[in-house]
Structure 1
Amino acid sequence: MSTGLIIAIVIVAAVVVVAAVLAMRSRNKGPGGLKRRFGPEYERTVAEHGGDTKAAERELAERLERHGDLHERPLEPAERERYAARWTTAQEHFVDSPRESVTEIDRLLAEVAAARGFPAGAEYEDQVAALSVHHADHVDGYRRVHRAAVAPVGGAPQTQAGTEEMRRAMIEARSLFEDLVTSSTGEHGRHRAGVGADTGGHMPWSADRSRPKES
């Protein structure tokens, strides 16, 4: 095979790959593609924009443009064990210290996300935006935990997080935690494995436990 023919084949292959990537991005950025990609996050963003679908889709398209190429770093088994143990400890302390537990879960999610390659926890809004692109099904649990963790203590009743609200926030946040701890590079929140198999069974929260009294 001549050198010229080899070069031609390489060029054609490169063009095909580029065309496929551009086509995939186009599908993702279109209205239907964004709705499929973001799922419940799409509906939440539309509601946040007062039903303005075009404004919501512009925001989601911008998130996809900024964070769509992010590659998640797989965690080592020891890291997964360590993070799972921290979750279990925070969960066990919830009945006696719900706010401290929620604060630790908020901090833990930020650390795990950063370890996977997402923006650092100090850049909360940017981190959540990136997580919404790759873990759209479960990112809102993180928002709920964060709101509960930063809610003022002793403020107006409407700004305080009650014990039941914090408990529900932790339960919702667990799904994102499981995604981050167990999924491999390229997997998204819609395809997560059970955490117990990878973390020695240290996981989780039983929603059937007796509920703590309201604060």
Structure 2
Amino acid sequence: MDTTTVVLVVLVVLALVAVGVVAATARRRSERHRSEELRDRFGPEYDRSVEAADDRDGRREAERELRRAAERRDALEIRPVPAASRTRYVERWGEVQTSFVETPVEAVEAARTLVVDVMAERGYPTEDTDERARMLAADHGEVVEHHRAAEGHRDRYRSGAGTTEDLRQAFVHYHRLFDVLLDDGRAGGRGTDGDDTPRTVDVREPHGATALDETR
């Protein structure tokens, strides 16, 4: 093989290596960009899903699942709550909140039902708790934490390991979630300041633990 041929072969190899490096760099940038888009959209849900993974493959699978969740959400037709329905829901919530002091267990269950009813009317899936959380996270990365917190406090009390404070916390988180879901997309909505941050809810302590135990 003469010198010219050797030089040409070396140049071809170097060109192929350069193309490979450029392609790999572009792929990494694309992956980072997609990861940043998921983080921006899902917020804490992204961190919860990805950081729970043990290795790089697990993190990639977690991101794939979030992308699939985003695709499922984007295929839904989410709509605002009609004015008439909104009035009815607000009245129902007022009744539920008033009942919390005397019957906190029933009030928490009624609050949870109201949240699910609002989600269903807006077009969200409601059959599976985890799917509800993922669809909420796709629209409200911060607010979905209220959903998980409410469910956690509720489950803890129902398991017998919780206290009346778990009931109060569950109710407060359901209320914050209710406010955002009810007013999302509605100009000047009650309970929000335009950034998914609901107003503080004042829930008095329920009456004694004896009454709570009787309603389990």
Q: Which bracket does the TM-score occupy, shorter chain normalised?
A: 0.5 to 0.7
Aligned residues: 173
Comparing 131-140 with 141-150, greater Cα deviation is found at: 141-150
Q: Answer yes or no: is the 8 Å Cα contact 2:133–2:144 preserved in 1.
A: yes
The 5 Å alignment of 1:1-215 reads 30-49=34-53, 53-119=59-125, 121-150=126-155, 153=158, 155-157=159-161, 161-184=162-185, 193-195=188-190, 206-207=201-202, 210-212=204-206, 215=209
Using the TM superposition, give the Cα deviation of residue 173 of structure 1 relative to its aligned residue in structure 2, in angstroms: 2.5
Using the TM superposition, give the Cα deviation of residue 166 of structure 1 relative to its aligned residue in structure 2, in angstroms: 2.1
Taking the aligned partners of 2:107 and 2:90, their CA distance within structure 1 comes to 14
Taking the aligned partners of 1:46 and 1:181, their CA distance within structure 2 comes to 30
- List gaps (5 residues or longer) in structure 1: 1-25, 186-191, 198-202
Q: Answer yes or no: is the 8 Å Cα contact 1:28–1:34 preserved in 2.
A: no
Percent identity over paired residues: 30
Using the TM superposition, give the Cα deviation of residue 122 of structure 1 relative to its aligned residue in structure 2, in angstroms: 2.7
Using the TM superposition, give the Cα deviation of residue 196 of structure 1 relative to its aligned residue in structure 2, in angstroms: 5.6
Q: Answer yes or no: is the 8 Å Cα contact 1:118–1:130 preserved in 2.
A: yes
Using the TM superposition, give the Cα deviation of residue 205 of structure 1 relative to its aligned residue in structure 2, in angstroms: 6.1
Q: Taking structure 1 as reference, are residues 146 and 156 closer, same or farther at Cα in structure 2, changes over 3 Å only? A: closer
1:10-52 alpha-carbon deviations (Å, 9 max, x no partner): xxxxxxxxxxxxxxxx899811111111112222223444685
Q: TM-score, normalised by structure 1?
A: 0.66
Q: Answer yes or no: is the 8 Å Cα contact 2:176–2:199 preserved in 1.
A: no
RMSD: 3.2
Q: Answer yes or no: is the 8 Å Cα contact 1:99–1:149 preserved in 2.
A: no
- List gaps (5 residues or longer) in structure 2: 1-29, 193-197, 210-216
Amino acid at match of 2:137: S
Q: Answer yes or no: is the 8 Å Cα contact 1:131–1:139 preserved in 2.
A: yes
Q: TM-score, normalised by structure 2?
A: 0.66
Comparing 49-58 with 39-48, greater Cα deviation is found at: 49-58
Taking the aligned partners of 2:63 and 2:206, their CA distance within structure 1 comes to 40
Higher helix share: 2
